[in-house]
Amino acid sequence: MKTCRVFLVLILCTAVVLGGTGCWDQTELNKASMVTGMALEPGDNMKYKVTFEIVNALETDPNKGGKGGTPTVIFSKEGNSIAEATQRINENLERMILISHFRVIIIDERLARKGINQFMDVLQRNRYVREDVIVLVGKGAPASDFLKTVYARGLYAGYKIQTQVETYRKVYGGVPRSHLFDIAQALLTEGRGLLLGAITISGDVEKSESLDAIKTISPAAVVKMAGAAVFRGDKLIGYLSNEHTRMVMLAGDYVNNTLFAIPGPGGKQTSPGGIDVQFYHMHAHMHVKMNGDKPKIVVNIQGDGKITSIDRNMKLTTIKGYETIEQMTSNYVNEQMQETVSYVQKKFGLDVFGFGQHYYRYHFRKFKPIAKEWNSLFTRADVEVKSNFTLRRPDLKTQKVEKEQIGP
Amino acid sequence: MSTEEQSLTGEQMNSLEKVKKQLKQVFGETTDLAVEPVDVGQYKGLMCYLTTMTNSAFIMEHVVKKLAMSEHKEPISKEETFQQLEISAYSGLSHQTLQNIDDVMFKIVLGNAAIFIEGCAQVLVLDVRTLNSRSIEEPSTQNVVRGPKEGFTESADTNMSLIRRRFNNVKLRFEKYELGYLTHTAVYMAYLDGEVDEEILKQVRETLSSSHIDSLFDSGRIEEMFHSKGKGIQLFPTVYSSERPDAVCSCMINKRIAIIVDGSPFVLIVPTIFPDFFQSPEDEYQWVVIGVFSRWLRYFAFVLSLIVPALYIAVTSYHQELIPSVLLTSIAAQREGIPFPASIEILLMEITFEILREAGTRMPRLVGPTISIVGALVLGEATVQAGVVSNINVIVVSLTAISGFVAPIYTFGSKVRFFRFGLILLSSLIGLYGLVLGCCLLMVQLTRIESFGVPYMSLFSRWDKRRVT
Amino acid sequence: MTPSKVNPVDTFTLQLVFLLSTSIIFGTPSVVPDSWLVGLVAFFPACLFIVLYSAMLSSQHDLGLYPMLEKAWGKIAGKMFVLLYAIYFLYIAARNIRDMIELVMSALLRITPVPILTSLFIMLIAYTALGGIKAIARFASLILCIVLLMLVTLAVFLMFSSSIILEQMLPFLSKGMWPVIQSAFTHSLWFPYGEIIVFLVFQPELGGAKGFRKITLYAFISACIILTISDLLQIWSLGIESKKYSVFALLDAARLINIANIITRMDAVVALIIIFGTLLKCSVFLFACTEGIARIFKVKTGKLTFPLALVAGAFSILVTRNSAEHVTEGLKYVIYTMHIPLQLLVPLLTLILLRIRYRKGAAT
């Protein structure tokens, strides 16, 4: 009897739940579409224009093959806020959109110059937006163009760009880590300018919108890494080249893996006899202290690597050979770093390295009074770079393969 | 101690009454002990053996007949009678003469018959151990690769002897009950005296003797009787049943009580706790790492079989953000053009599977392959081809189905499998929240139920140390 | 093998899960920069609770809280106090349900009506509470394993997705020690540690004063360690600055997990931890409440569970309008009007009364 009663109650409850509307939060996968990329631009008539790259799921399935359509569809909508434009995307689109899977947010240059803080909140607050979405600044082209490049691998632009950024950062380090979460971190902490990855486009976007574009060997338009976008506060003030970006990232210990091409004797980058050194485990530590009213900064760089190429006659069978190359690398990196620092000091007058942040973290009490004027202090800062590289092995050859001279 | 031992041996041991008393003391009330008065020559004697270790025809033929033949006209002394017996009557049988009664008891347990003669210190011990003529087959529901291949049969006597053969221990007790007003089915309770908990023993005895049923054809009925004795709803089986003598014996070593029903090859074991259902007797016969690994694998499969379909529904139709993007794209591509929502799709396939399973167990053996072909090809392949269900759905359902059969005890798997329908319902209504609440309900249920006062599941204590009532 | 009390390990896990459950996400106030220190600092005064409560227990030969109150304050006043405590427990249960629902609504669902979620949850709570303290304790050990496993998983995943940056806990003590101590005393001390008072109700079954002293101390230590680790994890992954802005810091930390784009978004795991924990905590409170009410009105405990669970559910929805109100109420008013009097003052007075009466009794 008791069992019966409990079961009756359970059945009643289910009936009530089913009898009500039920399944409130349900979003069926075949009635919704994934968004893989988002581009933000100033609107023509309204404040923002939001462009979504929406996956056409059937075409991405390698087994079913699809019907030869494009893997993604681009939809734009204008609105006075990003949330509004997003909600109103269904004026054009028949399905609900799943925004939880987009990989990149591309911010238009024009919008970035006005300041990104006025629209960041919706992205940070929304639980569907991932914290590790990559936020990039589209340099030299409208942001929506970046999503319009069809790529030969059948991948959608958003995924391609995200993978590209991550791979590039992993093998070379020429782009800052610019996840959504990092923006919040950089804007919240003291003594550090915000750096976002920048991308640019080369080629003809108009042509690249069509699927025909991927039937050629050389893609009509290609999205390229363009270093870093530098922000003062939340406003875009300029760009750093890939090489400078790498040095900035290196100073902040964000680069693990990179390659240095040391020019040959002659002083110029193009002079013959260059040496390539590949590093796998790089680490940087900074020390910041105030020397009177002038910051004294020491950057220590360590690295573990191998020799990739030597285009001059140097023997790697001797300890001396290694020491020489280590010394050369060290000098080269120090020089590059110095150059980058002074470039940033002169051009932007903004601490993008995070020296101030380091000082804030480790010497909070000393940093507190100078927090406001840190950037102007930074422009006057003495930066000393110390590097200590260890080259472990020469790969397969002991020296450059060259015929030895016989006879006198 | 030593004086007592003294008293058990030598000339002290002459009264048959005393022998009887000692037998009772050692063997208790076990039903398979036969103590029969016999005439040995001119003297009174006592024959004693375990019915579960021999058969009566053998005793009749080889022991009792010879005894009857050994009558002498002229009176001879006890010792002479004894020698007479030993030399002439039983020279064909393997026999021994013992004086120490403890040794005698042990011999009895091993399957010997002991013949005592009034007032004689010596005891004649005859090997009457016989193999049972019934054919014992491999168990059909609990198979092992490594380990004994014997299984219980429908005869309770055979079953008891299978147990007795594994316990050469005087502490093993069988208690007989008769259940069913109409059938008078013999039900035996087997346990190791001194090991089992008296309180539990009392409860089982009460339950067995106070049962009001008119017929009993399988131990399943008793299982239900025990099960419904627990308070409240009990979603999980609280009685373990096994076809394997080695499994039952190892449970009895662990202070359990076995219940043998005449006519059923399934022997019940009480009290039962949750981990029992994940223990295969094979685990003990292997390298310990493999045993532990396969046990955890079973737990894992159990969890899988419960939650996979529900989890699939919850994440694909409620929480798409939890799926890795690439996987979601591929799932979305497969779901494209499927007419049903994920929940209906899963329910459809799950019910189809249940029908297939039911058809598979009940149908005649010869039709088997037909059903498998129809099931695998027609339902699996064609529904996907036709775009009625998606590939991923078939994967989910078959994974669930396979995992559901991993539990070594079939009854457990078949009972638990039904919970997943509840979970599917919950998760298709409110997503992950519903699924979690459903799982919580099951866990609360697991920890709430008790089997004969022993908590069904308790992580941090041994079961025999934690009886609560 | 005699009928025994609850296994000490089960008691320990029960108390540990009880302490951890909601405080792992709502516990430490994030307004203070070094919030992980708060838990550590609060631990030492929290031990005084153990001293106070075990003194109460031992003075009355392990009587439960309710009979103790009646003994100390007389029939009428004692009953009033029993009622007060029962309502207090019910109110905390309601608050916990609300906490959990807030999290579920912001982490798992959006549209589903809250009453449906609540009613399902309270049915489950009532069912758990019906099993009695022994069943709840066994359930707790199961929950503890799951919760700890999940926490470890979170930590490992965070580590693998290289989100843990130790530097982010600096600057250390940027606002000095005072705010830490202050929030330890105004907040962490009463919640979760002070709420352990509810166990006085069941202590006769859980092992009496002696068991209470030892087991609760262990539970406090473990809870303190686990909470501190979880706080540190949040700070290491989110940074001091971001942690301040998040409603559910652990949830936000879990959102950072990304291992090779395959294991991402573990926020559901955090939601699970909270649902499990809250279920246990609420059923403990509900059970304590039913015991009290049943004692006053002389009804069978089992009959009250479902109605009282319903009341708690309704309470949880009606008690505040939005989450800000809910949080302010919880952090300010409840502490001063309920936690401090009922966790400290009344027990203290009761103890003094008991001591005086007991001595009088001994003299005559």
How large is the ipTM? 0.90
Q: Is B360 helix (H, G, I), strand (E, B) or coil?
A: helix
Q: How far is C238 from chain A (nearest CA, A)?
A: 8
R_g (Cα) of chain A, nearest Å: 27
Is B280 inside a domain boundary?
no
Are C264 and A361 in contact (CB < 8 Å)?
no
Question: Are residues A279 and A153 located together in one domain of the fold?
Answer: no
Q: Rounded to a whole number, what is the distance in Å from the CA of C143 to chain A's nearest CA?
A: 25
Q: Using the beta-carbon criterion (under 8 Å), do C268 and B319 form an inter-chain contact?
A: yes
Say if residues C108 and B432 touch (Cβ distance below 8 Å): yes
- For an interface test with B, give the residue of C14, C15, C104, C139 to mutate (most B CBs within 10 A): C139
Residues A250 and A396 in one domain: yes
Same domain assignment for residues B17 and B67:
yes
Task: Find, in chain A, the residue whose alpha carbon is nearest to that of B337.
Answer: A30
A2, A30, A100 ranked by CB distance to B335: nearest:
A30
- Provide residues of C within 8 Å CB-CB of chain A: 106-107, 109-113, 116, 120, 123, 167, 170-172, 174, 239, 241-242, 245, 252, 255-256, 258, 264-265, 267
Q: Do C116 and A127 touch (CB under 8 A)?
A: no
3-state secondary structure (DSSP) of residue B70: coil
Chains that touch C (3 or more CB pairs under 8 A): A, B
The verdict on B211 and B340 lying in the same domain is: no
Which CATH number do you get for residue A285?
3.30.300.210
Q: In terms of domains, do A76 and A213 share one? A: yes
CB pairs under 8 A between A and C: 50
Among residues B258, B280, B254, B144, the alpha carbon closest in space to that of B190 is found at B258
Measured between beta carbons, which residues in chain A are less than 8 angstroms from residue C116? 17, 20
- Asked if residue A9 is part of any domain, the answer here is no
Q: How many Cβ atoms sit within 10 Å of the Cβ of residue B387?
A: 12
Mean pLDDT of A14-18: 63
A132: domain range?
A: 31-240
| Residues A233-250 pLDDT 10s | 888 888 888 888 988 888
Nearest chain B alpha carbon to A129:
B321
Q: Which residues of C touch B437 (CB under 8 A)?
A: 120-121, 124, 275
Those residues of chain B that have pLDDT short of 50 are 1-12, 468-469
Q: Do A209 and A251 reside in the same domain of the chain? A: no
Last residue of a domain, one of A218, A240, A262: A240
- Does residue B178 share a domain with residue B63? no
Q: Say if residue A2's pLDDT is above 70.
A: no
Beta-carbon separation of C275 and B443 below 8 A: no
If asked whether residues B294 and B267 sit together in one domain, one would say: no
Asked if residue A24 is part of any domain, the answer here is no
Q: Retrieve residue C79's tokens.
A: 């009953």
> C204 pLDDT band (50/70/90 cuts)?
confident
Neighbors of chain B with 3 or more C-beta pairs under 8 Å: A, C
Parallel, antiparallel or unpaired: strands A258-262 and A194-203: unpaired
Residue C244 — φ and ψ, nearest 5°? -60, -30
Number of domains in chain B: 3
Contact check, Cβ <8 Å, B325/A25: no
Q: Which of C256, C305, C323 should one mutate to test binding to chain A, selecting the residue with the greatest count of A CBs within 10 A?
A: C256
Has residue C322 got a pLDDT over 50? Answer: yes
The percent of residues above 70 in pLDDT, for chain A, comes to: 90
The three-state secondary structure class of A310 is: strand
Query: B262 and B123, same structural domain?
Result: no
Q: In the predicted model, what is the mean pLDDT of residues C65-69? A: 86
pLDDT at C27: 63
Residue A10 lies in a domain: no
State residue C89's pLDDT score.
92
Assess whether A162 and A306 both reside in one domain. no
Instruction: Verify that A218 and A318 share a domain, yes or no.
Output: no
Among B252, B258, B58, B267, CA closest to B154: B267
Of B318, B334, B338, the CB nearest to A61: B334
* Token code pair at residue C171: 């600057």
Stated pTM of the model = 0.86
Which residue type does A35 have?
V
CATH number listed for the domain at residues C12-357: 1.20.1740.10
User: What are the pLDDT digits (tens) for B196-239?
Assistant: 888 888 888 888 888 888 888 888 888 888 887 777 777 888 88
User: Is the model's pLDDT at A356 over the cut of 60?
Assistant: yes
User: pLDDT tens digit string along C233-290?
Assistant: 888 888 887 787 777 888 888 888 888 777 777 788 888 888 998 999 999 999 999 9
The H-or-E segment that residue A188 falls in is: helix A180-188
A350 to chain B, closest Cα gap in Å: 37
Q: Is the peptide bond before C192 cis (omega within 30 degrees of 0)?
A: yes
Question: Residue A199 falls within a domain, yes or no?
Answer: yes
Of A192, A219, A240, at which residue does a domain stop?
A240
Residues of chain A in contact with residue C265, where contact means CB-CB under 8 angstroms, are 100, 130
Among B223, B248, B272, the domain-final residue is B272
**Which residues from chain C sit within 8 angstroms of residue A189, using beta carbons?**
239, 241
- Per DSSP, the three-state class of A201 is strand
Candidates C124, C166, C265, partner chain A, best to mutate (most A CBs within 10 A): C265
Chain A partners within 8 Å of C170 (Cβ): 361-362, 364
Residue type, C230: S
Is residue C1 pLDDT above 50, yes or no?
no
CB C108 within 8 A of CB B421: no
The alpha-carbon gap from A231 to the nearest alpha carbon of chain C, in Å, equals: 19
Residue A107 lies in a domain: yes
Does residue B427 share a domain with residue B309?
yes
Q: Indicate yes or no: CB of A17 within 8 angstroms of CB of C116.
A: yes
Q: What is the pLDDT of residue B11?
A: 44
Residue C164: which residues within 8 A CB-CB, separation 6 or more? C158, C233, C236, C237
Does any domain span residue B400? Answer: yes
Q: Which chain C residue shows the shortest CA-CA distance from B232?
A: C131
Model pLDDT, residue C222: 92
DSSP secondary structure letter of residue C207: T
**In chain B, count of helices (H) and strands (E)?**
18, 12
Closest CB to C10 among B431, B436, B458? B458
CA of B29 vs chain C CAs: smallest distance (Å): 24
Residues of chain A contacting residue C256, judged by C-beta atoms under 8 Å apart: 131-132, 181
Coil vs helix vs strand at C30: coil
Would an 8 Å CB–CB cutoff place C278 in contact with chain B? no
The Cα–Cα gap between A147 and C234 comes to 35
Cβ neighbours of B459 in C, within 8 Å: 138, 141-142, 145
pLDDT score recorded for residue B1? 37
| Same domain, residue pair B66 and B118 | yes
Do B295 and B247 share a domain, yes or no? Answer: no
Domain count, chain A: 2
Q: Are residues B327 and B445 in the same domain?
A: yes
Cβ <8 Å between A30 and B316: no
Q: Is A210 in the same domain as A304?
A: no
Does residue A354 lie within any of the structural domains? yes
Computed from CA positions of residues B126, B127, B133, B139, in that sequence, does the dihedral angle turn out positive or negative? Answer: positive
Q: Are C264 and B324 in contact (CB < 8 Å)?
A: yes
Is residue A232 predicted with pLDDT exceeding 70?
yes
> Residue B429's closest chain C neighbor by CA?
C112
Residue B460 CA, chain-centre distance (Å), reads 25
| Closest CB from B329, B342, B430 relative to A57 | B329
Q: Rounded CA gap, B413 and B422, in Å?
A: 15
Radius of gyration of chain B (CA): 29
- A28/B342 touch (CB, cutoff 8 Å), yes or no: yes
Which among A206, A240, A274 is the end of a domain? A240
Quick check: is A105 in a domain?
Answer: yes
Does residue C195 belong to the interface with chain B, where contact is any CB pair within 8 Å?
no
pLDDT digits (tens, 9 = 90+) for A90-144: 888 888 888 888 888 999 888 888 888 888 888 888 888 888 888 999 888 888 8
Q: Are residues B337 and B439 in the same domain?
A: yes
Q: What is the average pLDDT value for chain A, to the nearest integer? A: 82
Where along chain C do its domains lie?
12-357
How many Å apart are CA B449 and CA C128, to the nearest integer? Answer: 11
Collect all residues of chain C within an 8 Å Cβ-Cβ radius of residue B458. Answer: 7, 10, 138, 141
Cβ–Cβ gap A25/C267 under 8 Å? no
Mutate to test the interface with B, among C5, C7, C123 (most CBs of B within 10 A): C7
Domain containing B179: what range?
Answer: 156-272
Chains that touch A (3 or more CB pairs under 8 A): B, C
Pick from C112, C158, C160, C270 the residue to mutate for testing the A interface (most A CBs within 10 Å): C112
**Nearest residue, CB atoms, C171 vs list A100, A188, A361:** A361
Inter-chain contact C13–B460, Cβ cutoff 8 Å? Answer: yes
Both B252 and B295 in one domain: the answer is no
